[in-house]
Amino acid sequence: MPKGASFASLAFFVAFCVPVVRGQAAPNAGDPLARGQQIFAQHCAECHGDHGQGVSGVVSIAGPNLQAEHNLGQVLTAIEVGPSHMPSFGRILSVPDMKDVAGYVTQKIAVIPMQGGNLSEGGDLYAMYCSACHRTDVRGGALVFDGVNAPNLSHKSRALVAGAIRWGPGPMPNFPPSVLTDQQVASIADYVKYAQRPPAPGGSAMHWYGPVAEGFAAWVIAFLTIGVAMWIERGGKG
């Protein structure tokens, strides 16, 4: 191995392993959230903002609002792999550090304060702001512009729904607190959760396809009545 290369690897080692040592030496070893907060301040806040609000301007692409990323697994994966322009921290942070910072993100940052939601108010607001694209039964809808269909929300978590309302992913408009208060976002998230598995007192909901499925079922039964008429005409045999 040439000498230059070994120097380079040494420099690499110094540059990237020192933070790990520093991270491991962090105080408050007993409180994972406090450790997570400290690590977040060190490694994440530069792009994602002190409170995860994102930093606009120069590094706007590097600062997506963390409130839309909601679950521990997704956050951990992002830290380790580094999606898109985000650097990978897989070799910078130890696994317990990554867990602590991810825990801090999911429990303290990626949380829209959603208290006091009201289901019926949520239904009203959903009809006003959301149903035009996502349909009242939250199964999504096809949109004429852009060729982007409004996604089916029937498997989304409350946090992701709330994050999407605030963030506005893709062509979806965002709804800042000046339009919908935290409490109203909570109401809409409540409604979405309810409409994901609404009771179907009338029987099979036929995948919530609405009048299209109903018309189809009516024709199936209509053809069945033709079969019945043929059967009767044969004297009820075979």
Q: Which residues bind other proteins (CB under 8 A)?
A: 119-121, 123-124, 127-128, 131-133, 135-137, 139-145, 147, 149-150, 191, 194-195, 198, 200-206, 209-212, 214-219, 221-222, 224-226, 228-230, 232-233, 236
| Min CB(58)–other proteins separation in Å | 36
235 CB burial (10 A radius; 0-12, 13-18, 19+)? exposed
Could you report how far apart the first and last alpha carbons of the chain are, in Å? 87
Nearest CB to other proteins, comparing residues 79 and 180: 180
Supply the minimum distance, in Å, between the C-beta of residue 121 and other proteins.
Answer: 8
Instruction: Give the residue with the Cβ less far from other proteins, 41 or 127.
Output: 127
To other proteins, the closest distance from the beta carbon of 112 in angstroms equals 22
Residue number with CB closer to other proteins (4 or 147): 147
Query: Min. distance of Cβ 59 from other proteins in angstroms?
Result: 34
SS3 58: coil
Encode burial over 83-120: b for 16+ CB neighbours within 10 A, e otherwise. eeebeebeebbeeebbbbbbbbbbeebbbbebeebeee
What dihedral do alpha carbons 184, 108, 73, 13 form, nearest 10°?
Answer: 140
Find the shortest distance in angstroms from Cβ 116 to other proteins.
Answer: 14
| C-alpha to C-alpha distance for 226 and 212, rounded to whole angstroms | 22
Helix crossing, 182-196 with 119-129: angle to 10°?
Answer: 90
Nearer to other proteins, 34 or 129 (CB): 129
* Distance in Å, CB of 193 to other proteins, minimum: 11
How many residues are there in the chain? 238
